Amino acid sequence: MTEARTNPEMLNAVIEHLRQNYNPLRPVKQLREAMSRRPEGIPQLDHLDVEKILVSGLTGEWVKILGQGTADNQAILYFHGGGFAAGTCEYYRDMAARISRASGIKVLTFEYRLAPEHSYPAANEDALKAYRWLRNQGYSADNMVFGGDSVGATLALMTLLTLRDRNEELPAGAFLMSPHTDLIHLDGESYITNRAADLTGSLEGNRRIAELYMEGWGGPAPEILSPLRMPLYGLPPLLVQAGSREVLLSDATRLQQRAEEAGVDVKLEIWDNMWSVFQFLAYLLPEADQAIDNVGRFVKERLA
């Protein structure tokens, strides 16, 4: 995607900052400390409305923009990233707010149990609980869209597959930002071709994510942790976004190919010179802001 372009000087400054300050192999304690609160420096959107709630006993937040006329019976269920080991509603509040502004739909975030204290299948179970909680609150599946970033996008995809296999109703669609689509084999070509270019991810870092989530799991790696290798038939329309620099690029392109082969409607956007979950910098980068606008358009189309 090339519609929006960050000033080259600004982009180089952001890239250098990430290169010097981001360490995907930092200890879990440091990762959680960094993601324990709303990030400093992100300007809050005007007319932001946040309602703290419990989602089947899990901490959650409804996020919307006041005055937008969001429909009471429609919702986006958002699965946050953080390597299965970190992440809070507050940290993802700005992302949720910008998605709500772009789509006109309120967003529900929730905090699933974290690894390694809560290994597989804890996060998967909590994702299902959040979906069923929404259904019990009166939200029909066709009035709901899933969304997520990084391992949150993976959880969204895994939840779709689990619901399908259990013959439960599926949401109207799902948008996936930089999804891990294979946490078992980790064999995408871009792990090699983008090794030097990726600012926030690596094969070593993603291998660690898988190890943390499966710590204490006694058997073979569960098939669901490699959605790419599972049958993908019957899924709702998907919007997949990835950056051209990220090691997960092949996870996105292979997901598009295999899902289309299974008859799924998939749109893939590859954003030039961007990295994993660049959308988090939507307050700063035109590309990220445009990507979220595209998410909003996708959600509107699915919930029209």
Structure tokens that stand for 199 in this block: 């600012």
What is the average per-residue pLDDT within 285-303?
97
The set of residues, in sequence order, having a beta carbon less than 8 Å from that of 38 and lying 6+ positions away, is: 90, 91, 93, 94
Three-class DSSP labels, the chain = CCCCCCCHHHHHHHHHHHHHHCCCCCCHHHHHHHCCCCCCCCCCCCCEEEEEEEECCEEEEEEEECCCCCCCCCEEEEECCCCCCCCCCCCCHHHHHHHHHHHCCCEEEECCCCCCCCCCCHHHHHHHHHHHHHHHCCCCHHHEEEEEECHHHHHHHHHHHHHHHCCCCCCCEEEEECCCCCCCCCCCCHHHHCCCCCCCCCHHHHHHHHHHHCCCCCCCCCHHHCHHHCCCCCCCCEEEEEECCCCCHHHHHHHHHHHHHCCCCEEEEEECCCCCCHHHHCCCCHHHHHHHHHHHHHHHHHCC
Greater confidence (285 vs 69) lies with 285
What is the average per-residue pLDDT within 249-253?
98
pLDDT band at 2 (very low <50, low <70, confident <90, very high): low
What is the average per-residue pLDDT within 104-120?
97
pLDDT for position 224: 97
Q: Is the model's pLDDT at 159 over the cut of 80?
A: yes
Considering the chain, what percentage of its residues have pLDDT values greater than 90?
82
Q: Is the model's pLDDT at 248 over the cut of 80?
A: yes
> What CATH topology corresponds to 8-302?
Rossmann fold (3.40.50)
Greater confidence (216 vs 184) lies with 184
pLDDT for position 38: 78
Q: What is the pLDDT of residues 169-190, one digit of tens each?
A: 999 999 999 999 999 999 999 9
pLDDT for position 228: 97
What gap in Å lies between CA 211 and CA 115, rounded to an integer? Answer: 10
Strand order in the sheet with 144-149: 48-55, 58-65, 107-110, 75-79, 144-149, 173-177, 238-243, 266-271
Structure tokens that stand for 248 in this block: 């997960």
Considering the chain, what percentage of its residues have pLDDT values greater than 70?
99
**What average pLDDT does the structure give for the chain?**
94
Q: Is the model's pLDDT at 59 over the cut of 80?
A: yes
pLDDT band at 25 (very low <50, low <70, confident <90, very high): confident
pLDDT for position 284: 92
